Amino acid sequence: MWNLKDKKGFIMIEILCTLSIFIMLLSGALVASKNASKIKCEYREREKYIGLLQGVKNEVMYNFTYEDLKNLKEENKLYIHKDEMNWDFHQNKDTKMLFTNIVPQKEPYLEMRITETEIFKVNLILNYEERKEKKRVHCEFYKGRYKR
């Protein structure tokens, strides 16, 4: 029969078990917190890109003329690079200088496709990468010489 008065070894084992359980729970909580902050950061980036897409769409739709779009199409200036995505639409007036004819190699970038007829069909495509997966957001509208 064991002598239950001598618990020196059991106390050490209890402390080690408690400590290991605490470390496992703490590491799980830290991993969950890290993943949540990573997703939150990706969400902020996506919101920023979609805000830019909406700003470019509004600028092209309401402030560009038919001739402006025609000139951009003829000069093949249909891309906005990642470096230009911090554009402030309220302070800066000339949005046409954002567009370039060099095809971007790095994501994110904005691409504008114009189908040329009497009425332009403008398709804005935002290309970005999220969790090592390529994503695209499309926006389509019409611009041209037509009467309502």
CB-hemisphere CA count at 13 Å for 79? 15
In a domain, 22, yes or no: yes
For residue 31, the model assigns a pLDDT of 97
For residue 123, the model assigns a pLDDT of 92
Rg (alpha carbons) of the chain, rounded to whole number? 28
Residue pair 69/120 in contact (Cβ under 8 Å)? The answer is: yes
Place of tokens 């830019």: 52
In a domain, 1, yes or no: no
In a domain, 56, yes or no: yes
Domain carrying residue 67: 8-144
Count of structural domains, the chain: 1
Question: Which amino acid is it at 135?
Answer: K
In a domain, 3, yes or no: no
For residue 64, the model assigns a pLDDT of 84
**pLDDT tens digit string along 110-135?**
889 888 777 888 999 998 888 888 88
SS3 per-residue string spanning 41-86: HHHHHHHHHHHHHHHHHHHHHHHCCHHHHHHHHHCCCCEECHHHCC
Does this model's pTM top 0.85? My answer is no
